[in-house]
Structure 1
């Protein structure tokens, strides 16, 4: 039985229809081809895993993001490449010249991307942007920046891959555990007097940071009165976060980080452990609202008691860092907390106009009155 999935599975009805089709034909081997989807629901993932355990399902995907996601969860699948001259084997004999990436040309390219696709990277650090453009060009065996630029602006799939190259999604459960220890022992207890607490996780990636925070709040007996807003510019990674499914390959590191962060129970108590992946228990999803959002364009969301924006601003130019810090100032209650990344700070971007040190070692600041 062959099943082809057109487009993204954007609704529960569409996912249910796919599961219904699979169920109707579960007695035979099923071949499923995902033509345009970058992410699928957890129910679909778990159904495919069960079928593959019985050697009854082969999966084919056209999108590299979904391919990587499936592999991380233990799903065997085949990446089908589009027929294109860009997929031919090639050897790069010509080096990428730095002169091809003149700041004015790169700036114009980023403006064109904004006009065409609506994503604004114009105020990102140019050295980081250029490095990721080069990575994407080499993926397509291209050495001419102008040719690559034209391709990005005319081919949605090529832009999509460049967008993923621009999006940084490095994260872990309880990353920098000493920061979580400080939040648990000092900051969250300070906020416990509030009857309702709102927290914003900026650049939440695949959701491991907000879920880590929710686990700490659960242990403090505070989760019931907390709403966590978790945002990222990448819509696919947001859907991954909503699914709450993660590779079990990092579980030993996750356990160590959890203990270092002051965890009082067993890390695995908060997950369903199933072979090659772990699944966040549903009780933690109720208090987290995941959605796509660009802090650059949309700025203020709400009046929060704490904002976490860790290892995001290092990719911004200093003028943009100042703008974002002003947004955070306007989004926080008086005396609210801002938590930044270990390599980030206030000195070079005018942040002390809006914030004061609370704990410089862990990059925790408080909003000025």
Structure 2
């Protein structure tokens, strides 16, 4: 019994010894696990704390990359602007080529008139010439001579004249707004002849001249000879005949003299007028669109056209602060004579500007 009791005590002692370590071991594990958990928490916070700077640095690096990427373009622009400034300075240092009226010939001006002439009235010198001595039909430019002959005769401009059957165009069959039987003063007929190039009005002026049409045509040719227009011939007062011929040189003489007549200057540069004919008011306008332009200062103007003559234009004007006579003959195309006149004007203004800079 004692042996058994001792065996039980020994067995329980052994069991108590074996369990205690396990309990201690299990109790030891908890602090370890807690310690590990505690150690893990700060570790994760450290990781997160470490990650945040990484994100920030990535954003910062992105911004840096963006700035770095933008930096070359800014430098490039700066470099370009620097080059532009250097180029501008280089161009500014280069001498400017001065243009004078004698530097450019008509072919370089691309004039579409077969014959052209520009005379500087202040000096009497030709500043542009293209076949100025070619004899060619002049169409309604003839009406300037018609007006001069009427005015030279000192006829009463308020006398009433009538459009007759003889005044109807039998050469070209052109139309007119003046029916046979229309009456008007000689002054009105001259206005319509010069402003609107009315052929019946011009013909009636010649027919109502003392001695009739033959005397009038003789007076036209006599006047031409007196002005030194030796290559000019008139056959009738309207210009419908292709036998009315002249040269650019001769017409420049005629324009210069015609510009001395106040009536011719006024009537040929009238843009539009209301005229009472046969009890009805009608509107008439100029045949030269440049008369209406604010860019032109025109003292005298006359256009002309028949198929044999082409489009013609003569003017006395002020261009580049100079009084000039412009003659354009046989221009093909409806607006080419106007285009030629504008090209001449721009050329003269550019040349004048260049000479002014040179003087400064």
The TM-score bracket by the shorter chain reads under 0.3
TM-score, scaled to structure 2 = 0.23
